[in-house]
Chains A and B, each alone.
Chain A
């Protein structure tokens, strides 16, 4: 287990929602593990963004884009957590989420999406995630480590460089549960390895090796 991260360096932009640019040890690790390879397939689950496309394709890789939180909001609606208890909605969600062939990707940037899913949708989503990533591939996911927070800010994540991300606010959602290291180890028990980077601002960055 590795504790790292330098925390957020708040950098508000002019008006409207403040964009935070921060160091990400998880991304740095993710990038260093992929570095030196070409023609890899990367899944970005933060929705389509020019920054991420540019970064990934600029490194000679292929990128696939999906928006897991967008799909959740589309299917589960305003009553986000209650919606996940509706079998019909869960079925629809699973029809839309991560519908890629097995072992399609060398890496998956899941960002902060998983923390808003409740059991059993969460476990099913993680199982699919592990299926679509090739053995040895990496998954980067973020979890808020503050167990007292009622609403977790949701961000779009834009890669600035190999160890810096810009977080674009997308509102806030109620967390599905509190994730500590033990929860996460259990959640990814079928993975080969898992590393944690705990930042000063209570963000747990997780690197999972399939």
Chain B
């Protein structure tokens, strides 16, 4: 009987299937809806469509902030900020209209606008071609597009244990490769960018 119901069931539950591209997930959900109360599934699923945007904040281009910003979620800044911005463990996006005079700290930083200040990303910094950055960078990985204006120093921070093992005799090149922004935008592709 149960098996018959399950065979019949597939059609109605498709409404809340927010991830149709992964059919493997659907049977699990159906089972869970049949086992637990239906309310639970309907509560959980509306969060899914928001997907990546869940837990992200934005400062629009007409917003000016002076002071310290601490975010515990992804943050996009497209306005003016003066002070400091910290989004530990999260992504910070500096939009194309942004004018930031601040020190920035985040897990990942994407820069399209203008920044004057030091930038510290534990994971990765992505500087787009329209970006302007004056300040020092500290990060594990960096991707910079040709055409981006950058004035400052880049310090590739190595994983904690790495320097000692390198010194101990392991091949330095292999140890350093992951740090060295290994998959850059191909030089040739961006090379046609005219002079600023």
Give A contacts to B, CB under 8 Å.
13, 15-17, 19, 38, 41, 47-51, 53-54, 57-60, 62-67, 69-70, 73, 154, 156, 158, 160, 166, 168, 170-171
Would you call B177 and A58 a contact (CB within 8 A)? yes
Of the candidates B144, B155, B191, the one whose C-beta lies within 8 Å of that of A48 is B144
Residues of A within 8 A of B151 (CB): 65-67
Residues of B within 8 A of A154 (CB): 195
Of the candidates A47, A58, A62, A66, the one whose C-beta lies within 8 Å of that of B180 is A58
Q: Does B182 contact A (CB under 8 A)?
A: yes
Q: Does B85 contact A (CB under 8 A)?
A: no
* Smallest CB gap from A58: residue in B: B180
Would you call A70 and B149 a contact (CB within 8 A)? yes
Can you offer 30 A-B residue contacts whose CB atoms are under 8 A?
A13-B192, A15-B192, A17-B194, A19-B188, A38-B172, A41-B153, A47-B196, A48-B144, A48-B149, A48-B150, A49-B146, A49-B187, A50-B143, A50-B145, A54-B184, A57-B154, A57-B176, A57-B181, A60-B166, A60-B176, A62-B155, A63-B154, A64-B153, A65-B151, A73-B196, A156-B195, A160-B187, A168-B146, A170-B195, A171-B194
New contact pairs (20) apart from A48-B149, A51-B184, A58-B182, CB-CB < 8 Å: A19-B191, A19-B192, A49-B144, A50-B187, A53-B142, A53-B181, A54-B182, A54-B184, A57-B154, A58-B173, A58-B179, A60-B176, A63-B154, A64-B152, A64-B154, A158-B187, A160-B187, A166-B188, A168-B187, A171-B195
Residues of A within 8 A of B144 (CB): 48-50, 53
Question: In whole angstroms, what is the CA distance A73 to B65 when docked?
Answer: 33
Would you call B146 and A62 a contact (CB within 8 A)? no
Question: In whole angstroms, what is the CA distance A112 to B184 when docked?
Answer: 24
Question: In whole angstroms, what is the CA distance A47 to B195 when docked?
Answer: 10
Question: For window 132-177 of chain B, which residues contact chain A by CB distance below 8 Å?
Answer: 142-146, 148-156, 166, 172-173, 176-177
Would you call A170 and B194 a contact (CB within 8 A)? yes
Would you call A60 and B188 a contact (CB within 8 A)? no
The interface size bin for chain B is 35 or more
Would you call A57 and B153 a contact (CB within 8 A)? no
Would you call B188 and A13 a contact (CB within 8 A)? yes
Majority DSSP secondary structure for residues of B touching A: mixed
Give B contacts to A, CB under 8 Å.
127, 142-146, 148-156, 166, 172-173, 176-177, 179-182, 184-185, 187-188, 190-196
Question: In whole angstroms, what is the CA distance A13 to B186 when docked?
Answer: 13
Total A-B pairs in contact (CB under 8 Å)? Answer: 104
Question: In whole angstroms, what is the CA distance A66 to B146 when docked?
Answer: 13
Q: How far is the CB of B109 from chain A (nearest CB, A)?
A: 15
* Smallest CB gap from B185: residue in A: A50
Q: How far is the CB of A124 from chain B (nearest CB, A)?
A: 19
Residues of B within 8 A of A65 (CB): 150-154
Residues of B within 8 A of A156 (CB): 146, 191, 195
Residues of B within 8 A of A48 (CB): 127, 144, 148-150
Residues of B within 8 A of A168 (CB): 146, 187, 191-193
Would you call B184 and A50 a contact (CB within 8 A)? yes
* Smallest CB gap from B154: residue in A: A63
Question: In whole angstroms, what is the CA distance A210 to B143 when docked?
Answer: 32
Of the candidates A16, A57, A166, A171, the one whose C-beta lies within 8 Å of that of B156 is A57
Q: How far is the CB of B119 from chain A (nearest CB, A)?
A: 13
* Smallest CB gap from A100: residue in B: B153
Would you call B182 and A50 a contact (CB within 8 A)? no
Of the candidates A51, A59, A60, A64, the one whose C-beta lies within 8 Å of that of B187 is A51
Residues of B within 8 A of A38 (CB): 172
Q: How far is the CB of A110 from chain B (nearest CB, A)?
A: 15
* Smallest CB gap from B146: residue in A: A49
